[in-house]
Amino acid sequence: MTNDNVQTMIDAAQEAFAPVGKYQEFTANAFERVARKQWELAQACFELGLEQMQTTAKTRDIQGLVNAQQELASRWTDTLTRGSMELMEIVRENQSEAVDLASKQAKDGAAKATKATASAKKAA
């Protein structure tokens, strides 16, 4: 085998596996976005939990405790609702990007297959 043949095989292999690299990059970015949002929500819940413990320890009357617990529950609910909506938006965006990536790769693959078929017919 000549160096040109080896280089042609290397180029073909790199071209064939390029979509895999793009997909891996996409999945890593998608995972990072979701993980960062989950970490943000976990921190917010942790802080609200600490605040709830502090409120319980500081409050001396039952009505004050009930009011403080209601306010904390409301904030907790708002935090979790907002967080889940943001996570769902990230998932929708990732899904859309995945569909676009797959469509582009399919079109590129079809174009390459057409080109290779034409080259093979010409060579034969």
CA distance 69 to 62: 10
Question: For position 1, what pLDDT does the model report?
Answer: 56
Tokens of 72: 């904390």
**CA 49/CA 58 separation, integer angstroms:** 14
Query: What is the separation, in whole angstroms, between the first and last Cα of the chain?
Result: 22
Print pLDDT tens along the chain (124 aa): 577 777 777 777 777 777 888 888 989 999 999 999 999 999 999 999 999 999 888 888 999 899 999 999 999 999 999 999 999 999 999 999 889 988 888 888 778 778 777 776 776 6
Kindly give, in sequence order, each residue whose CB lies less than 8 Å from that of residue 80, ignoring residues fewer than 6 positions away: 41, 45
By the 8 A CB rule, do 86 and 37 touch? yes
Nearest to 43 by CA among 6, 80, 93: 80
The pTM of the full predicted model, rounded to 2 decimals, is 0.69
Question: In this predicted structure, what is the pLDDT of residue 124?
Answer: 65
The Cα 21–Cα 65 span in angstroms is: 55
Beta carbons of 109 and 26 less than 8 angstroms apart: no
Quick one: which of 69, 75, 70, 77 has its CA closest to 53?
A: 69
